[in-house]
Amino acid sequence: MILDGHNDLVLHLWRGTEPRHVLLGEAAASGFAGGFFALYVPSVISFEEPDAPYRLPLPPEIPYAEASPIAEELAAVLEGLDGVTIARSVDDFVPGRVTAIMHIEGAEPIAPDLANLEAWYERGLRSLGLVWSRPNAFAEGVPFAFPSSPDTGPGLTDAGRALVRACNRLGILVDLSHLNEAGFWDVARLSRAPLVATHSNAHALSPSSRNLTDAQLDAVAATNGVVGVNFSVGFLREDGGGSPETPLAEIVRHVDYLVARMGADHVALGSDFDGATIPDELGSIGGLPRLVTAIRAAGHDDATVDKLTHGNWLRVLADTWQPLA
Ligand code: ZN
């Protein structure tokens, strides 16, 4: 059974564009049992994988009033997915079917006074990224930059701190991917839950602003949290390049590094399927068994593979999806 930390299938279906990676007809044969399905209110930017070095400026803020109705539409798309169950508890994940964690990527659809957060929880929201790569009322994301430190701007606002506390109280996972380093450390100080970056890689191997420094990786491990390895070639490669001819082995390189640095209990998969350029050698969810074979061939035993593919996600979700004082 494979659970995954991030996909953008919903955005494609909402826009009416063809998904290329999350092909649900391939799910059963590949062992894909779902994971985090992003509700992402898009910024109006043209976004092609640039050649490193690069620095795309932060897009402007999207006001709550603009983001909220779009997020409602995105949620309706997710709820309408044929054969997909919306996760409300860890027991909902079973082999042979696809279960979706409703994840808001960028908290713009949450009112700055948090008035609608509980309604979102009731609707099924179980994971929230404070930011995408732009500023909002709660925090500021990293720009897409290579090479770059993730230390690119200010930390959480008062509203951002209130949001983290409210998520702990309700049992909503707080996702650190896309957050800048100052915000990361603010959450690390504040949150009572395990720290989680759903789709980020090792900065030591690929010095992108979107990846995590060794100190950040250590902090995630220290809270019994998890990092989902991102398959986006620009966050995998040492040179930050965007070629889809990047080999599958680049994903394994990050898995190896993170397991050595953090321990096998703190590493998972966070594909970014349908949100990024991924290695052609992987192709789609149908290629996941090839990735698992490559991870085994790199010397990871069955117990480790079970943790990487689903065990760590299930543990962290169980630890997080309960009210935390
Ligand atoms: Zn993302």
Q: Report the pLDDT value the prediction gives residue 262, as an integer from 0 to 100.
A: 98
Distance 132 CA to ligand 1 centre (A): 7
Those residues whose C-beta lies under 8 Å from the C-beta of residue 198, and which sit 6 or more positions away, are 5, 6, 36, 103, 127, 129, 175, 177, 228, 270
CA gap 237, 250 in Å, rounded: 7
Distance 312 CA to ligand 1 centre (A): 20
Distance 209 CA to ligand 1 centre (A): 12
**Each residue's pLDDT tens digit in the chain (325 positions)?**
999 999 999 999 999 999 999 999 999 999 999 999 999 999 987 666 678 999 988 999 999 999 999 999 999 999 999 999 999 999 999 999 999 999 999 999 999 999 999 999 999 999 999 999 999 999 999 999 999 999 999 999 999 999 999 999 999 999 999 999 999 999 999 999 999 999 999 999 999 999 999 999 999 999 999 999 999 999 999 999 999 999 999 999 999 999 999 999 999 999 999 999 999 999 999 999 999 999 999 999 999 999 999 999 999 999 999 877 5
Structure tokens at 323: 């009210």
Those residues whose C-beta lies under 8 Å from the C-beta of residue 294, and which sit 6 or more positions away, are 248, 249, 251, 252
Distance 231 CA to ligand 1 centre (A): 11
- Give the predicted TM-score (pTM) of the model: 0.98
Tell me the domain boundaries of the chain. Answer: 2-320
Q: How far is CA 128 from CA 85, 158, 256, 301, in A?
A: 18, 17, 27, 32
Distance 128 CA to ligand 1 centre (A): 12
Distance 212 CA to ligand 1 centre (A): 14
Distance 210 CA to ligand 1 centre (A): 9
Angle among Cα 242, 271, 47 to the nearest 5 degrees reads: 40
Q: Report the pLDDT value the prediction gives residue 50, as an integer from 0 to 100.
A: 75
Distance 143 CA to ligand 1 centre (A): 12
CATH 3.20.20.140 fits 2-320, yes or no: yes
Distance 272 CA to ligand 1 centre (A): 7
Q: What are the DSSP calls for 165-200, one per residue?
A: HHHHHHT-EEE-TTB-HHHHHHHHHH-SSPPEESS-
Distance 112 CA to ligand 1 centre (A): 21
